[in-house]
Amino acid sequence: MRKEINFKVDDILKFKAALLEWAQQFEEIVWLDSNEHETRYTSFDALLAADALTSIISDSTDAFMNLEEYQSRTKDWIFGYLSYDLKNDVENLTSDNFDELDFPDLFFFQPKRIISISGTEVCFKYLNMVSDEIETDFKSVLGLKTVPTVQEPSVVPIRIRMRIFKDEYYKRVHRMLAHIHRGDIYEANFCQEFYAEDTEIEPLETYQQLNAISKPPFATYLRLQNQYVLSASPERYLKKLGDKVISQPIKGTARRSSQRDEDQRLKSTLQHDEKERAENIMIVDLVRNDLAKNALKGSVTVEELCGVYSFEQVHQMVSTVSAKVKANEKPVDIIKHTFPMGSMTGAPKVSAMKIIEELESFKRGVYSGAVGYFAPDGDFDFNVIIRSILYNQNKRYVSFSVGSAITAKSIPENEYEECLLKAKAMREVLEESRKG
């Protein structure tokens, strides 16, 4: 059982920063921040889960079965992530590419402390065993007067490397295009890794800088002991609200401009770009098929097709697909039958994932997986882990990955430039970051 107490806060931005700083005392943290993006499916402004009572860590073998058992047994809030490589539990696939991050394939925990923020109202939802600490914790957060400041550099700048270089990238995209021209696939999301070895960063400070640059609607700070996910994700993977499930795939990207007229031109060009629209529509069809596996007959609906939304650094083409499910449908089954998300795989999905494994040079892991939560009533919400920095503190290894959708109309040089555009925020943050 959980005890709930609500408080009013005047300066909510300061409180959010202090709350995340206060949470660093715990070894299991999930922080989800909408950055004041308000949509019809936004349930909160920010949500913090910390301090595990129970947890589950699994490799891909029987991962969804293990998660279903855990979710059914706890009958409580659980928070965590699904790595991309759970594809191997859904289909007869493997993940044999290079992996230096070494994150578990699946991690969820039942937090003792949950704190949600909606407007100026803060709700503490604590398990009874720690409920007598609510007032003290609230006062502790209020007592943190300043946000951590960037310290002077004490080590050399981070040296970011590419797992494959430009010429090799072009070669692999041409191989992907050969598969498309043969009819093996219609589209595939091809990704590349940027990394830094023998490197230390301050995870919270790095996240705050990344979030300040991007201000995305699905920002995430996740800590699993000495492994961190620092995410500026703009994309929702899947949400369940009662008998309704919603997916909002992103396909289609254009840069922003500081000049208003130029910015509007770039946005309009994206809206009418045939290649970008074709990419998005192919993934919408894939999502419709995935949702239909658990949906009530005739309930799958495209609520918005190829809408263009503006974020801090890029314009994105976003579609919204929804469906109705039976009241007794198992929440984990809904996720299993749609995972991994179509925007990060391609079509047909299984063939695309096989080719991705063949051509990519790294194991995706948490990248292009999902972070989120299950509520006690079976509702859930998960983002897509893109525009994210992954950090293994023990191995002193930092990684971020980016990708683009390859279709028959793709030009390798343009796809490469799109990757660099998506990498810009992470690269800037890391190159300016220091371990103080």
Q: Which of 383, 392, 389 is nearest to 422 (CA)?
A: 389
Q: Which of 305, 318, 84, 286 is nearest to 185 (CA)?
A: 286
For residue 104, say if its preceding peptide bond is cis, omega within 30 degrees of 0.
no
Catalytic (active site) residue 435: no
Give CA–CA dist 76/19, Å, rounded. 22
Tokens of 24: 């660093």
Tokens of 380: 């859930």
Tokens of 178: 């050969």
Catalytic residue among 251, 324, 354, 422: 251
In sequence order, which residues have a C-beta less than 8 Å from that of residue 128 and are 6 or more positions away? Answer: 1, 2, 3
Q: Let me know if 96 is exposed, middle or buried by CB neighbors in 10 A (0-12, 13-18, 19+).
A: exposed
Yes or no: say if 137 and 113 are a contact pair by the CB < 8 Å rule.
Answer: yes
Catalytic (active site) residue 235: yes
Strand bridging mode 388-392 / 397-406: antiparallel
Residue with tokens 């009418």: 272
Catalytic residue among 193, 235, 357, 418: 235
Q: What's the one-letter identity of residue 21?
A: E
Give CA–CA dist 123/7, Å, rounded. 6
Give CA–CA dist 159/196, Å, rounded. 6
Phi then psi for residue 254, to 5 deg, are -140, 150
CB burial readout 368-397, b (16+ within 10 A) else e? bbbbbbbeeebbbbbbbbbbbbbbbeeeeb
CB burial readout 226-245, b (16+ within 10 A) else e? ebbbbbbbbbbbbbbeeebb
Yes or no: say if 57 and 106 are a contact pair by the CB < 8 Å rule.
Answer: yes
In sequence order, which residues have a C-beta less than 8 Å from that of residue 85 and are 6 or more positions away? Answer: 60, 95, 105, 363, 364, 365, 369
Q: Which helix (H) or strand (E) holds 115?
A: strand 106-118
Catalytic residues: 235, 251
